[in-house]
Structure 1
């Protein structure tokens, strides 16, 4: 008999230990002429627990899902765990790291990574001779 069955059979309360599992969020990257768009799926991560940093051309996305035991309840069986999301990218020299913008909505992080002016396509005016 495994521990879970034994606990359930004996009606011993299950202890919810906050064990954080590190997950790699799924990411989509799109390109425009003036920027890259990074969309990361980080369900349950709040704005307050989200950290986005650029250091030495490494972009790091980190976020945590924290679990609280509901007041007045004791767990009999607990499978849901606290989770930590982390993903790192090496930025191209084309990206203007100081101008990166980010927003989070419903656990989806959207980053806009603008390209430096020198790396954006530009139209050349042709003059008649």
Structure 2
């Protein structure tokens, strides 16, 4: 876990009752993440149900990996909401990458709301077994 550290997603100040009804006042949710390590890479599994490939943004800037995704639920035609608990949401999560990660080779895919991010380690940081020879 030395190669990746979590950063807090910047939270907006608490909304007033007027602002709470406006969509732009919604806070981003932090999606749950599992991190697995292999000899040559780290693998992140990020749970973002409802996010499509087109609504997913993954970027690296100054060794900070940012994952953001939006959910936009459509209103059924000819209906208006009188009570709604399920609404548009935004996911956001950030991680600081160490110098051991090859940020140019990061790859990602989404499958059924789970984002799979592969963070390859630089060649110089791959674990390898050293053969021991007898004298």
Q: TM-score range by the shorter chain?
A: 0.7 to 0.9
**How do 1:1-129 residues align onto structure 2 when only pairs under 5 Å count?**
18=23, 20-127=26-133, 129=135
Structure with bigger gyration radius: 1
TM-score by length of 1: 0.81
Q: Which runs of 5+ in 2 are unaligned?
A: 1-20
The number of aligned residues is 114
After superposition, what is the alpha-carbon deviation per residue over 1:66-99, rounded to whole angstroms, capped at 9, x for unaligned? Answer: 1221111122222222110000000011100010
- What secondary structure, in the 3-state scheme, does the structure 1 residue paired with 2:28 have? strand
Cα deviation 1:13-72 (Å, max 9, x = unaligned): xxx964544100000101001000001111111100000000000000000001221111
Q: Would you say the 8 A contact 1:59–1:91 is kept in 2? A: yes
